[in-house]
C-alpha cells in the first residue's frame, strides 16, 4: 500500500503540471507572436465615409412620353453620356416610355426627388416665373417665393461690354454667336439658381442657333421652359432656347450657326423673351463667357 500511493500521487502531480503548461502556452501564444485574432464582419462590405455618403444621391426617373435622354439629363443638370453609361445604354436615343433610369446626382444639388413624372407637376394659376424652375425644385408657392426673393436680392453684375462678333469665344471646337438681338434682363447666377440669361425682344423675333450642331430636343414637355429647343454641339456642349412662340426645327435635324430655329415668344413665361442656356458636361455655365451680351 505504501508503495502504490506515492506512485499515484506522482502521476496526478504530473498531469496537473502538464495541464497548467498547456493552458499557459495557449494564453501566451498570441502575445508572444505579437498578433491579435482577426475580427471579421460579414455582409457589410467597405463602410463609406461621411463625405462619400453625402457626395451623391441616386434617384429613379420614369421615362414619360416626349422625353429624350438629352432632355432628362438637361432637366437634372447631368451629362447625358454619364446617364447613358450608368444605365447601360449604348444608344442614347433608345429609351422607352415607362423605362426606369437611375440618375446619380451630387447631393449638394439635390432639392427633391425626381421619380415623380414631371408632367404631373402643374404650376398653380397666377404663378409667374422669372426663370425656369424645373427638375428637383418642387413647384410650390413657398419655393417660388424663395426663388423670386433670391433673384430680387441678387446684386447686379457689371455690364458686359461690346457687341462685336469678334468678342465671341471658340472653345473645344465650338464657335459661339448671339442667339438673338436684344439686351439681357436677367443674368446667370449659380448662387440664385439662374441657369442662363434672359434676353428681351419682340413677339416673333428670330431665334438663331448659337453654334452649329444637332437638335436633340424640340418640344414643350419641360415645365418652366415653354416651347424649348436643345442643340447638341459636341460631346461637351449643349445650348437651350426657351419660351419660344414657334419651333422651326425638329429633333435629329442638323443646324448651322446663325440658322433661324425658332421665333421669340412668351410660352410659360411672364413676358416675351428668350431664355438661353449653355451646358458644359451637363452643368449650366455663364453664357457671358462665350457671348458678347449687353445688359439692359
Residue 149, in any domain of the structure: no
Residue 271, in any domain of the structure: yes
| Domain extent for 203 | 164-289
Q: What is the DSSP string of 230-241?
A: EEE-SSSEEEEE
Residue 233, in any domain of the structure: yes
pLDDT at site 92 = 78
CATH code of 203's domain: 2.70.70.10
pLDDT at site 58 = 82
Cα dist from 39 to 35, 42, 118, whole Å: 12, 10, 49
- CA atoms of 141 and 246, how far apart (whole Å): 29
**How many Cα atoms are found within 13 Å in the side-chain-facing hemisphere of 8?**
5
Residue 54, in any domain of the structure: no
10-residue mean pLDDT profile of the chain (296 residues): values are 50 55 49 38 38 65 90 90 90 88 71 36 41 45 45 37 48 91 94 93 98 95 93 96 98 97 97 97 94 82
Number of alpha helices (DSSP H) and beta strands (DSSP E) in the chain: 5, 14
Q: For the purposes of burial, counting CB atoms within 10 Å of the CB of 59, is it exposed (0-12), middle (13-18) or buried (19 or more)? A: middle
Residue 202, in any domain of the structure: yes
How far is Cα of residue 275 from the mean position of the Cα atoms in its chain? Answer: 19
Supply 79's cell numbers. Answer: 451629362
How many domains does the chain fold into?
A: 1
- CA atoms of 189 and 186, how far apart (whole Å): 9
pLDDT at site 27 = 47
Global confidence as pTM? 0.63
pLDDT at site 38 = 35
Residue 3, in any domain of the structure: no
Residue 89, in any domain of the structure: no
Alpha helices (H) in 63-164, listed in sequence order: 69-75, 80-86, 141-153
* Bridge partners for 279 per DSSP: 238, 284
Residue 153, in any domain of the structure: no
Cα dist from 139 to 98, 143, 148, whole Å: 23, 7, 13
- CA atoms of 205 and 275, how far apart (whole Å): 13
- CA atoms of 227 and 209, how far apart (whole Å): 15
Amino acid at each position: 500500500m505504501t508503495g502504490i500511493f506515492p506512485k499515484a500521487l506522482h502521476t496526478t502531480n504530473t498531469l496537473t503540471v502538464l495541464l497548467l503548461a498547456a493552458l499557459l502556452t495557449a494564453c501566451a501564444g498570441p502575445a508572444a507572436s505579437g498578433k491579435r485574432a482577426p475580427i471579421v464582419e460579414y455582409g457589410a462590405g467597405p463602410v463609406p465615409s461621411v463625405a462619400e455618403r453625402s457626395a451623391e444621391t441616386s434617384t429613379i426617373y420614369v421615362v414619360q412620353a416626349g422625353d429624350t435622354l438629352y432632355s432628362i439629363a438637361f432637366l437634372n443638370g447631368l451629362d447625358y453620356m454619364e446617364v447613358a453609361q450608368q444605365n447601360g445604354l449604348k444608344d442614347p436615343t433608345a429609351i422607352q416610355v415607362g423605362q426606369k433610369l437611375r440618375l446619380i446626382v451630387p447631393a449638394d444639388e439635390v432639392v427633391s426627388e425626381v421619380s415623380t413624372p414631371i408632367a404631373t407637376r402643374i404650376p398653380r394659376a397666377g404663378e409667374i416665373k422669372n426663370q425656369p424652375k424645373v427638375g428637383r425644385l418642387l413647384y410650390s408657392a413657398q419655393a417660388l417665393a424663395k426663388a423670386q426673393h433670391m433673384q430680387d436680392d441678387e446684386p447686379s453684375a457689371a455690364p458686359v461690354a461690346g457687341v462685336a462678333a469678334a468678342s465671341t469665344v471658340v472653345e473645344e471646337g465650338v464657335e459661339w454667336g448671339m442667339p438673338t438681338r436684344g439686351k439681357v434682363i436677367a443674368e446667370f447666377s449659380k448662387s440664385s439658381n439662374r441657369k442662363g440669361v434672359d434676353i428681351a425682344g419682340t413677339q416673333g423675333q428670330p431665334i438663331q442657333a448659337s453654334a452649329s450642331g444637332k437638335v436633340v430636343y424640340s418640344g414643350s414637355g419641360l415645365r418652366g421652359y415653354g416651347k424649348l429647343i436643345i442643340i447638341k454641339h459636341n460631346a461637351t456642349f449643349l445650348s437651350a432656347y426657351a419660351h419660344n412662340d414657334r419651333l422651326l426645327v425638329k429633333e435629329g435635324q442638323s443646324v448651322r450657326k446663325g440658322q433661324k430655329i425658332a421665333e421669340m415668344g412668351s410660352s410659360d413665361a411672364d413676358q416675351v423673351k428668350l431664355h438661353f442656356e449653355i451646358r458644359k458636361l451637363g452643368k449650366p455655365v455663364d453664357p457671358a463667357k462665350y457671348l458678347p451680351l449687353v445688359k439692359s
